[in-house]
Amino acid sequence: MNKIYEDLSSRFTLSDYHQQRDNLAFVTVEKAQLVSAITYMRDYLKFTHLVLMTSVDWLEQGKFQLTYLLHNYELHVNFGLKVMLDRDNAVMDTIHHLWGHARVYQRELHEMFGIDFPGSPGVNEPMILESWQGPPPMRRDFDTKKYSEETFDHRPRQHVEPEDYLRQNLYPED
Amino acid sequence: MNLKDVLSPLYVWKRAFEKPYTIKTLKEPRPGADRYRGFHQNDLDKCIGCGSCAEICQNVSIDMIPVSETKEGDSGLRPKIDYGRCCWCALCVDICPSGSLTMSNAYTWVEEGLDKDVRETFCFTPGVDKKPWDNEEKGYRRLEGYELSILERVKMEELAPAERVNSFIEMVKGFSKEQAKKEADRCIECGICTATCPGHMDIPGYIRAIREDDIEAGIKILYATNPLPGVCGRICTRRCEEVCSLSLRGEAVSIRWLKRYLTDSVEAEKYRDLLHDEVVPSGKKVAIIGAGPGGLSAAYYLLRMGHSVEIFEQNEAAGGMLRYGIPEYRLPYGSLDKDIDFIISLGAKVHLNTKVGRDVNFDDIYKDFDAIFAGIGLSESFKIGVEGEDLPNVTSGLNILKLVTLGQDPQLGDDVVVIGGGNVAMDAARTARHLGAKAKVLYRRRLEDMPADPVEVREAIEEDVEFITQGIPLKIEQAPDGKLDLIWGKAEMVDDGSGKRPSPVLIEGSREVMRVSKVIAAIGQGAEYGWLEGETTKQVKLGKWKIEADRWGRTDDQKIYIGGDMFNKTADAISAIADGHRSARSIDSYLAGEEYPKDRF
């Protein structure tokens, strides 16, 4: 793992290296260097498999964290590359030319977090949220309850508060 | 084209004659796993309709709907569940204080006719609407030891028995802020308790105030229904705690001690600012006879409504039974005075040492005032009804307690026996122990039949009070050494089959002798009606046991109200306070010329 890290750090600007297990480590890469770094890992370090792409909403810091998890079949190790994006300008270069299935992840990230990947095929099409009207639902400032109250019809409740009901039946005049 | 391609359609046809793998989900559903979270079950007898399930449900899928009769400790509501919203998280099962709500492992339900009202589609009230899974044994139950509620109380520190019998120092130490907040955190705010509290205090409200550390808001909530909260925070009979939903599987919230914490957290001088209220004088005058909890409560609310109030009290200080009937170690005089002084400071004029019927005429009061509230309590101790009762060293529990309050020596000697099993009997016996005498309690029935607060019985036992149960006093004789011989007989409990509690019957020929220095009778008290003499009280009707009055305490004479122990059945401080509050509202309406009390306060 350390070897991989050293190799990478001699070529790219890295930070926050963290080895979680013997076969799993993460490092943060500059946004502009991500595609180069990931291409280098695929073509020279034999991380041929893109396991997944995902995102974390760091609302308080105003950032989205994108994570690309790669796998090396010879060494059987996973390596995660992280990129921090500004929440206000959540745009990232696409990597669908490296792995075709990345476009599915990118389409999903666009739908759920509102992160755009210009040039990724079909990135603007909804995956599951057909005719969605609200903001991307996985953003932490998305208010699920408010959205559901505004968007959907509601069954009228029949609920009676026990405390009120007791008063009404046992001591209505007090 | 190879051979396999030619033959494969035949392989497929071979399958047509085999048993299909199709699972007939609806006709023969596969059973859910043993702990599957399926459709709900509710044990209606155990459920108290507290609504905690509806409260915790994150999907608003539970409505409480009227099902059975409403009574104290059971709202009569039961949860109705909407499976269009339910996400099967089982929080409702986990929180259920009574443990009545569970989940079966059933997960299939075919609903016919979807043209039904949307509120009825895939909704049902477990236990009420019969379903095939009602008696299913398998399904989700709360795991043993897994609790969302905190079932154990924060322990209240108190003086050890050996320490407390040497003095009259208050034995219960009270909560610190941390302890109180921790205890307040246990309340699940179901509100079942408020109906049972005679004063209908907003218990969840003031507990919330403690949790949020808003003492001022808490005090305001207390005074909205109870102007003697410092007293009730110490000696309340706390029937609220008996119905607390947490008590079903654990310990009730220490409601009484939390109330005490609130009042102890605010100094007496601050009450005035805190509870400041603009009062418009009405120009009406109300007389209050008896400065016990009922009279003081009526006085407080009447003053707040703008009426002027004069209180007539026969003793040398206000408080009634709170002062003269409750020992100092349970209710220190300082705490009592804090509450009383605040009420009086609002402008009540108090005539101490003034007994109506002796020092002042009822007729004069009737003429001088616009309305009268009488709460004179039960001051006459019942006689035991045995020979020798009039001997010098035979007295009543109330008398002993009063002498101790007055700072006089009750001359107990070294060995007393208290006859009775109520709170006065406990107080008298324990007072004797605190004064250094040995104390026995002689009670006709069994320990578990005692009307006294079980906590007081326990504390009396801790203080080495000896309990002799199923003993009936027969005779009191003067012993040669100047002491008394109490002759008593053993009784057996006889159930006459009428469904009433078994009654004690003297065992033929049983005769025991107990030599004591003092015999203290504490078998109950009655009211005294000497004060009612006069021209103007003719309309007031005396029933068999008490003066007749409506629920507002109004007698047949519209001007005269009664309340407190002489009126209500429960004869405790909070009931008297509730009576005073109720009567005050009715008096207010009466003085304004209205027929029924409106909610002015």
pLDDT tens digits for range A109-141 = 999 999 999 999 999 999 999 888 889 999 999
Q: What is the mean pLDDT of residues B468-475?
A: 94
Q: What is the mean pLDDT of residues B47-54?
A: 96
Cβ-based contacts of A165 with chain B (< 8 Å) = 49, 64, 66, 70, 75-77
CB-count burial class (<10 Å; 0-12, 13-18, 19+) for B216: middle
Task: Name the residue facing A162 among B49, B82, B200 (closest C-beta).
Answer: B49
Cβ contact, residue pair A160, B64, below 8 Å: yes
Identify the closest residue of chain A to B61 by CA–CA distance. A157
Cβ contact, residue pair B194, A169, below 8 Å: no
Whether A174 shows a pLDDT value over 80: the answer reads no
pLDDT tens digits for range B570-582 = 889 999 999 999 9
Task: Name the residue facing A155 among B62, B76, B82 (closest C-beta).
Answer: B82
What is the CATH number for A80?
3.30.460.80
pLDDT at B548: 85
pLDDT at B597: 59
Mutate to test the interface with A, among B194, B554, B579, B589 (most CBs of A within 10 A): B194
Task: Name the residue facing A158 among B75, B80, B582 (closest C-beta).
Answer: B80
pLDDT tens digits for range A36-60 = 999 999 999 999 999 999 999 999 9
Mean pLDDT of chain B: 91
Cβ-based contacts of A152 with chain B (< 8 Å) = none
Cβ contact, residue pair B64, A155, below 8 Å: no
Share of chain B above pLDDT 90, in %: 76
Q: How confident is the model at residue A153 (pLDDT cuts 50, 70, 90)?
A: confident
pLDDT at B601: 38
Whether B515 shows a pLDDT value over 80: the answer reads yes
**Top-tier CATH class for B283-378+529-591:** alpha beta
CB-count burial class (<10 Å; 0-12, 13-18, 19+) for B297: buried
Give the total number of structural domains in chain A: 1
pLDDT at B599: 45
Residue A174: inside a domain: no
Q: What is the mean pLDDT of residues A2-9?
A: 92
Cβ-based contacts of A156 with chain B (< 8 Å) = 119
Sheet holding B123-124, edge to edge: B62-66, B77-82, B123-124
- Answer whether B523's CB lies under 8 Å from B382's CB: yes
Q: What is the mean pLDDT of residues B487-516?
A: 89
Does the reported pTM lie above 0.90?
no
For residue B64, give how far its alpha carbon lies from the nearest alpha carbon of chain A (Å): 5
pLDDT at A157: 86
Q: What is the mean pLDDT of residues B349-376?
A: 93
Cβ contact, residue pair A171, B72, below 8 Å: no
Residue A171: inside a domain: no
Q: What is the mean pLDDT of residues B23-37?
A: 84
For residue B586, give how far its alpha carbon lies from the nearest alpha carbon of chain A (Å): 10
For residue A171, give how far its alpha carbon lies from the nearest alpha carbon of chain B (Å): 7
Task: Name the residue facing A162 among B62, B71, B77 (closest C-beta).
Answer: B77
Residue A95: inside a domain: yes
Identify the closest residue of chain A to B85 by CA–CA distance. A155
Which residue is it, tokens 């009055």? B549
pLDDT at B1: 66
Whether B587 shows a pLDDT value over 70: the answer reads yes
The CATH architecture of the domain made up of B25-145 is 2-Layer Sandwich (3.30)
CATH code 3.50.50.60 region(s) in chain B: 283-378+529-591, 381-525
Bridge-based pairing state of the strands B349-351 and B308-312 = parallel
Tokens of B281: 């004088």
pLDDT tens digits for range B321-355 = 999 999 999 999 999 999 999 999 999 999 999 99
For residue A150, give how far its alpha carbon lies from the nearest alpha carbon of chain B (Å): 15
Cβ-based contacts of A166 with chain B (< 8 Å) = 70, 75, 191-192, 194-195
Identify the closest residue of chain A to B200 by CA–CA distance. A174
Bridge-based pairing state of the strands A24-29 and A14-21 = antiparallel
Q: Residue A40 sits in which domain range?
A: 2-128
pLDDT tens digits for range B139-190 = 999 988 889 999 999 999 999 998 898 889 999 999 999 999 999 999 999 9
Q: Does B203 touch chain A (CB under 8 A)?
A: no
* Percent of chain A as helix, strand, coil, to the nearest 5: 30, 25, 45
Mutate to test the interface with A, among B64, B74, B203, B240 (most CBs of A within 10 A): B64
CATH number of B161-273: 1.10.1060.10
For residue B550, give how far its alpha carbon lies from the nearest alpha carbon of chain A (Å): 13
Q: Does A131 touch chain B (CB under 8 A)?
A: no
Task: Name the residue facing B51 among A157, A162, A173 (closest C-beta).
Answer: A162
Cβ contact, residue pair B63, A159, below 8 Å: yes
Q: Which of B144, B151, B146, B180 is nearest to B246 (CA)?
A: B151
Q: How confident is the model at residue B596 (pLDDT cuts 50, 70, 90)?
A: low
Return d(Cα A43, Cα A25) in angstroms, integer. Answer: 19
Residue A30: inside a domain: yes
Which residue is it, tokens 């589609």? B121
Q: Which of B296, B286, B357 is nearest to B527 (CA)?
A: B357
Whether B531 shows a pLDDT value over 90: the answer reads no
Cβ contact, residue pair A160, B194, below 8 Å: no
Residue A48: inside a domain: yes
Q: Does B142 touch chain A (CB under 8 A)?
A: no
For residue A115, give how far its alpha carbon lies from the nearest alpha carbon of chain B (Å): 29
For residue B72, give how far its alpha carbon lies from the nearest alpha carbon of chain A (Å): 8
Chain B (538-567) residues lying within 8 Å, Cβ to Cβ, of chain A:
551
Q: What is the mean pLDDT of residues B510-533?
A: 90
Residue A169: inside a domain: no
For residue A104, give how far its alpha carbon lies from the nearest alpha carbon of chain B (Å): 29
Q: Does B49 touch chain A (CB under 8 A)?
A: yes
Cβ contact, residue pair B597, A156, below 8 Å: no
Q: How confident is the model at residue B516 (pLDDT cuts 50, 70, 90)?
A: very high
CB-count burial class (<10 Å; 0-12, 13-18, 19+) for A61: exposed
How many beta-carbon pairs under 8 angstroms link A with B? 69
Chain A (150-169) residues lying within 8 Å, Cβ to Cβ, of chain B:
155-163, 165-167, 169
- Answer whether B80's CB lies under 8 Å from B49's CB: no
Cβ contact, residue pair A166, B118, below 8 Å: no
In this structure, which long-range contacts are made by residues B546-551, counting pairs with CB atoms below 8 Å and at least 24 apart in sequence?
Answer: B551/A173, B551/B582
Mutate to test the interface with B, among A144, A149, A166 (most CBs of B within 10 A): A166
**Top-tier CATH class for B381-525:** alpha beta
